[in-house]
Amino acid sequence: MNDRALLERVTQVRAFNRLYTGLIGVLDEGLVGSDYSLSEARVLYELAQEGVTEVTELRRRLDMDAGYASRLLGRLEARGLLVRERHETDGRRQLVRLTDTGRAEQQVLEDRTTTQIGELLGRLTDEDQHRLVTSMRTITRLVGERRTKPALVLRPPRPGDFGWVVQRNGAIYAQEYGWDATYEALVARIVADYLDHRDPAREAAWIAELDGERVGCVFCVRGPDDTTAKLRLLLVEPHARGHGVGTRLVDECLAFARAHGYTAMELWTNSVLTAARNIYRRAGFELVDSAPHHSFGHDLVGETWRLEL
């Protein structure tokens, strides 16, 4: 990245910061129309979540130095919102907890914040609310601290998911392998055929979500005969790789095939898709055929993999 591109991105981030802080009212004059600064409100929130907390742990969570934290806690203590006391068995450790007044004030702040954010979301359509929340998850994932393992959920597709499958296949394969729009056209035909001719008793699809964000998909469809199923359109978003998403999707596809009377499963892929091929191999698939072809703007080697169920 050249200096000019970096400067443009820095400018965009700073513009977003100004917009965001202006929208939610977290400037120094007070949070959500209260007398509390953002730092004070964050202390009240953390203490309300955790109950009695060590001061050192509170400082770590809020990234505060000792002097600033001491002054801030002193102001809140003087207002009767919290109390500080020594640990009963270790005098070097200081504990802090909210008073009843502090809990009441925190609840007022919580209610005001909920109302304010609700009003902000209320200006948007349901679709735009989803886009906003998804973008915020992306920001959190890229620059925030992940403290817990992300929740992986597989679910049936909903309206809008099928268009996402086509769009993300086209975008990801163009970015990672340079494939042209003919691949996206192929995916669109596969999805359309699934929607037009699906047999609910013997065919299914799944969308994978990590922390509520779509990150993958797979389809199980009828194969060349009633005893063979086909695995199609396995996809995992680049940022979601390493969380077992692809393996879970393939396992779900295989479980469905076994439960619905298939005795084998086949899939077609290309030799350049090494990550997907590793997933298939670990699941027990074996390479049974390969042939060169020119597709999607490239010379490729197509492969057929099969697993007896």
Pairwise CA distance, residues 276 & 250, whole Å: 10
| Claim to verify: residue 126 and residue 47 sit in the same structural domain | yes
Task: Give me the CATH number covering residue 237.
Answer: 3.40.630.30
pLDDT along the chain (309 residues), means of 10: 78 79 54 69 80 76 80 89 80 83 87 80 84 80 66 90 96 95 97 95 94 92 92 94 92 94 96 94 95 97 96
Given a contact cutoff of 8 angstroms between Cβ atoms, the answer to whether 24 and 116 are in contact is yes
What is the pLDDT at residue 93? 80
| Claim to verify: residue 230 and residue 185 sit in the same structural domain | yes
Given a contact cutoff of 8 angstroms between Cβ atoms, the answer to whether 165 and 191 are in contact is yes
Beta bridge partners of 289: 304
| Claim to verify: residue 109 and residue 166 sit in the same structural domain | no
What is the pLDDT at residue 254? 95
Pairwise CA distance, residues 243 & 11, whole Å: 33
Identify the helix (H) or strand (E) that includes residue 91.
none
Quote the DSSP letter at residue 289.
Answer: E
Q: Which of 93, 111, 143 is the last residue of a domain?
A: 143
What is the pLDDT at residue 28? 42
Parent domain of 99: 3-143
| Claim to verify: residue 137 and residue 248 sit in the same structural domain | no
Task: Give me the CATH number covering residue 124.
Answer: 1.10.10.10
Pairwise CA distance, residues 152 & 210, whole Å: 5
**How many structural domains compose the chain?**
2
Given a contact cutoff of 8 angstroms between Cβ atoms, the answer to whether 265 and 301 are in contact is no
What is the pLDDT at residue 242? 86
What is the pLDDT at residue 52? 59
CA proximity to 252, closest of 165, 152, 163, 183:
152
Helices and strands, number each (H, E), in the chain: 10, 10
What is the pLDDT at residue 35? 74
